[in-house]
Chain A
Amino acid sequence: MTPRRKRLLLVGGILVGVATATTVATFAFRENLSYFYNPTQVTDGAVPRGRSFRVGGLVTKGSLHREPGKLEVRFVVTDLNRDVTVQYAGVLPDLFREGQGIIAHGKLDPSGVFVADEVLAKHDEKYMPPEVAQSLKHKPNAEGGGT
């Protein structure tokens, strides 16, 4: 074996070794690497108990309820399978609207309501001009509309 070949194998070996180690590690920490849980995991009890975590999903249309004269809001987050009610007192981000994806950080209270201390808006990868979005709204079956 020439020295060059040896060095080639060494570099290849380092790469394969590090890649394998990283793959194993990321699989082991899969749960922790996910930024949020979805409502199905919440209702199935697959979320940490008594600890803060994040829940993400779409805000159900027509579910936003605001206490008159207060910052407090209540809305339902869904993954189109299960729903979780979220209660939050604070400023909502610009992109927050019904039908839009959001991620809330907080705790489940005993009655199953998620009490959030932070609400972030999740944007999707779709971009379009306002006119296109308008015309898609009138054709409910058109692809690419909404989130």
Chain B
Amino acid sequence: MLRVEGMKIRYGAVQAVHGVDLNVGNGELVTLIGANGAGKSSILAGIAGSIPPAEGQVLLEGQPITGLPADVISRKGIALTPEGRRVFAHLTVGENLHLGGAAFSKGDELRARRDSMLSRFPILADRIDQKAGSLSGGEQQMLAIARSLMSQPDLLLLDEPSLGLAPQTIDKVYELIDDLRKEGLTILLVEQNVELALSVADRGYVVANGRIALSGTASELASSDLVRQAYLAI
């Protein structure tokens, strides 16, 4: 489904990603793991178009989407749930969901999508008219994912969904991610919590200093010396 070839990303003079190759197959859950600042989020931003790659190619179903504006890439079926959730704090939960689907459907269809999202996330249904900023961190993370799902994406990019959440809340978020994978959604997951990420992923890439240090299936990575020593502290 998604293919990234030789992606380089620069912020001014600083290069964050030094030529990354990766691919995500249909229905796969692939994870990018690695330390803070390794360039994982930059790779997602480069795919989603919020930061255009300086070099390299991004191919969606074989078609180049490199450097297209973020809104165009989104309408091609890639949704990014960014790090820090970035819900619109001063808009209501309902308005946040509405905007998530507004570029993809209208009227009754949009309402139907919203209603099905609310039955999937009852906690959001209870808070539909509340400002998103008044939700707890876990609720905001659910809202951010629900907002992304409103577009019924082919590929979901999830950036650090466990960041800053309480352990029970993290479990709920990961149950949701596992459900989405079982429903056949293709997911590229960025996560600092390596154990958590490998518990749900099919395959993974270890990102270090803006390069792919290692790749393999989730179980191969979990038993590799590099991952065990550097990230799992075993």
* Pair from one complex: no
What is the interface of chain B, defined by CB distance below 8 A to chain A?
none
